[in-house]
Structure 1
Amino acid sequence: MAIRLMVDTCVWLDLAKDYREQPVITALEELIGSGDVELIVPQQVLDEFDRNKARIAEEARRGLQSHFRLVRLAVNRFGDNARRADLLAGLNEVDHRIGVDGDAVGESIERIDGLLRGVPALATNDGVKQRVTERALAKKAPYHRAKNSVGDAILVEIYADIVSTATADTPCAFITHNTKDFSDADGDFRQPHGDLAHLFEAPKSTYRIAMVEFLKEHSPDPLGDHDFEFNYSQEARRLSEILEAEHLLSRQVWYNRHWNLRTKIEKGEHEVVSEQDYSRNPYRADQTLDSVWELALAAAKKTEDEVGIENLGPWDDFEWGMLNGKLSALRWILGDDSDTLDA
């Protein structure tokens, strides 16, 4: 009995960015190859993966190169004089290979790309578009949050079409890591949001927030001897992951502060002035020099292109507190003062 499986883009990207997830990709490849799983790929997911895969690969390479730079500094400072040259030569070769050949992340991206392109992509038809509009007007999940949720809503409506033909003998499943938009907001985040609960009635439909959870429930054998709970879940984060997360958080915090200032300017609470009107003595907190503001706008556009506008808020008070807390903790780990949040 094949189960029809739809996977959110965020799951594919998370599988791609961490080489330790390759056993999961292998298990999924085997299930699809054996016919136990039929992959459903909306065009929306394929497009989003295409837009982000280069960024994921580059961030992984940049993180690894940053890691090796730190290792080289440590070798230079603490390494044994007799072995230092050989160690540095080896590290330089690895660093070069990362830049030229890529790494395991590139392999994961290629394998996932093969899975996504191995089946015909489902286009977003007019019926889906109409229901997305109706969902937006009714502010039903994933439109219950103050953000652009068109892409998420398209997935919901395409999955609704799949569920409409599902039975206990031909079930379907949806996997996402985006618990904020799809999960129960006030209860168990492993359960779907109340607006979506009707799409996940057992035994014909399943909602899961982790690929491993789905694999263990439906077909545990392909994971084989991979002691996932011990070797993966308990493994410390790599330095490259920490650096990547710190960079993203710093961009998010800076962008939110920039947008708050932009809002004040639009409301007339803050003024952008020319050099001749700018007050330096005394300093005025309600003024920004026009040349500085132009640089800030350019930096904001660069941040949007680098991070993706969908990853830049808006945030509620709880989410904003979590962002600052995470950034503070990571910078403490990297050696900065724990209260250093300057972007």
Structure 2
Amino acid sequence: MYRILIDTCVWLDLAKDYHQQTILAALEDLIDQGLIELILPKNVVDEFARNKDRVIEQSTRSLSSTLKRVKEVVEKFGDPQQKSSVITQLNDVDHRLPILGEAAVETIDRIEKLFERSTTIEISDSVKLRAAERAIDKLAPFHRQRNGIDDAILIEVYTDIIREDEASDNRFAFISHNTNDFSHPNASKKLPHPDIELCFSLTKSYYFITLSEALQHIEPEHFDDLMIEHNWTEEPRRLKEIIEAIDELVTKVWYNRHQVLREKIEEGTTQIVEKETFPIKDHATRPIQRNVWESALRAAAKVEERIGLEHLGPWDDFEWGMINGKLSALRWVLGDDWDMLDT
């Protein structure tokens, strides 16, 4: 089994990036199968908790403000022939922003569930003391002018875990995106800093700067299979697609109602008049004005030509329910109340 310590920055980056959900899913599976166990220092849990709200907010706010400025620039200076197309695409992105925010919330919830299943390691006084000594001696991760003690605590906790578990067959991995503090300053970023290189070896303890590389090393064939399994994700529908679907459904509902009215006219239940009189006394037998009916006939002919008679019914009760249900659901997504079926 591999025991791995994942730096807080890696967890936060997983939460920020919607497209890294596949990596998180692979990690979850490998933990479920007992191939990986998390080394979870308490300061990682605390730092993640402090920053998760900021991640959720930033996942939509920064992009939203940028998008607003871009739309303003396009409106003011954009090519008139291409402006409409560009604005449509920007509106599609704008429509997806809340979904990206919700994805960050979901990812954070999944990460916290992993934390709950793992044993949180309290930070001992000896670890704090050794971390402070690193600061005094200006050893990595204190070799730079600015740094916090949390990074040094991670290294000291990791060192203790390896020492305590040295007799076992377990292997270990330390994973951080913080290459400025942990990686070699003059060689490949994939190598640890000389001040911490004694924590790592070619066979027992490994240093990684991405979670995907770590999982690939730990279980190469298994990881590839998991990536293929989890790599399929449902992309949110574009705003243009939703609007087009609503338009088609509205048209079908209107056409069906038009056909019902046509039957009533042919049966004599509904009369064609030159001019309607108001107020209407009985809506069940309300007449229709001739010019309105002729306009409706022309509109129906255009619908038949555009959509095709074979796609305009008749429908049984189940099919009719599906059409109205789809229309209601899509309108709800765009802000209408449920059961809004007006045409």
Interval of TM-score (by shorter of Structure 1 and Structure 2): 0.5 to 0.7
Residue of structure 2 in register with 1:206 after alignment: 206
Identity among equivalent pairs (%)? 39
Tell me how far apart the structure 1 counterparts of residues 94 and 144 of structure 2 sit (CA, whole Å). Answer: 48
Which string of whole-angstrom CA distances, capped at 9 and with x for unpartnered residues, describes residues 187-246 of structure 1?
22211111111110231111111111111111233343757xx99xxxxxxxxxxxxxxx
Q: Report matched runs for 1:123-138 at 5 Å.
A: 123-138=122-137
Instruction: Work out the CA distance in 2 between the residues paired with 1:136 and 1:69.
Output: 44
1:281-334 per-position Cα deviation (integer Å, ceiling 9, x unaligned): xxxxxxxxxxxxxxxxxxxxxxxxxxxxxxxxxxxxxxxxxxxxxxxxxxxxxx
Tell me the matched-pair count.
223
In 2 relative to 1, CA 63–93 (structure 1 residues): closer, same or farther, beyond 3 Å? closer
1:243-267 per-position Cα deviation (integer Å, ceiling 9, x unaligned)? xxxxxxxxxxxxxxxxxxxxxxxxx
Q: Which residue of 1 aligns with 2:186?
A: 186
Distance 1:168 1:93, change over 3 A: same
Gaps of 5+ in 1: 232-343
Summarize the Cα distance change of 1:130–1:92 in structure 2 as closer, same or farther, 3 Å threshold: closer
Structure 2 counterpart of 1:224:
225
Q: TM-score, normalised by structure 1?
A: 0.57
SS at match of 1:202: coil
Pairwise CA RMSD of aligned residues? 3.2
* Partner of residue 45, structure 1: 44
Contact 1:72 1:91 (8 Å CA) reproduced:
no
2:141·2:147 contact (CA, 8 Å) conserved in 1?
no
Contact kept, 8 Å, 1:167 with 1:204, in 2: the verdict is: no
- 1:113 corresponds in structure 2 to 112
Q: Contact between 1:42 and 1:122, CA under 8 Å: does it hold in 2?
A: yes
Give the structure 1 partner of residue 95 of structure 2: 94
Give 1:173 deviation, angstroms: 0.7
Counterpart of 1:181 in structure 2: which amino acid? D
CA distance in 1, matches of 2:145, 2:5: 25
Distance in 2 (alpha carbons) for counterparts of 1:41 and 1:132: 17
1:75: how far off? 8.0
Q: Which segments of structure 1 move beyond 6 Å, counting only runs of 4 or more?
A: 75-80
**Alpha-carbon contact 1:30-1:222 (below 8 Å) kept:** no
Distance 2:212 2:180 in 1: 20
Matched residue, 1:171 = 171
Q: Distance in 2 between matches of 1:186 and 1:168?
A: 34
Q: 1:92 to 1:163 in 2, by over 3 A?
A: closer
User: Larger deviation: 37-46 or 59-68?
Assistant: 59-68
Is contact 2:9-2:177 (8 Å) kept?
A: yes
Gaps (5+ residues) in structure 2? Answer: 233-343
Verify the 8 A CA contact 1:65 1:98 in the aligned structure 2.
no
Deviations 1:10-42 (A, max 9, x none): 111111111011100000000011110001110
Confirm whether residue 15 of structure 1 aligns to residue 14 of structure 2.
Answer: yes
Does the residue aligned with 1:103 lie in a helix, a strand or coil? helix
> Do the aligned partners of 1:17 and 1:60 also contact (CA within 8 Å) in 2?
yes
Pick closer, same or farther for the CA change 1:174–1:65 going to 2, 3 Å.
same
Give the letter aligned to residue 157 of structure 1: E
CA distance in 2, matches of 1:13, 1:157: 21
Q: 1:209 to 1:168 in 2, by over 3 A?
A: farther
CA contact (8 A) 1:39 1:119 kept: yes
Partner secondary structure for residue 173 of structure 1: strand
Q: TM-score, with normalisation over the residues of structure 2?
A: 0.57
Residue 69 to residue 91, structure 1, CA distance change in 2 (3 Å): farther
AA aligned opposite 2:134: R
Q: Bigger radius of gyration, 1 or 2?
A: 2
Instruction: Specify the alignment match of 1:247 in structure 2.
Output: none
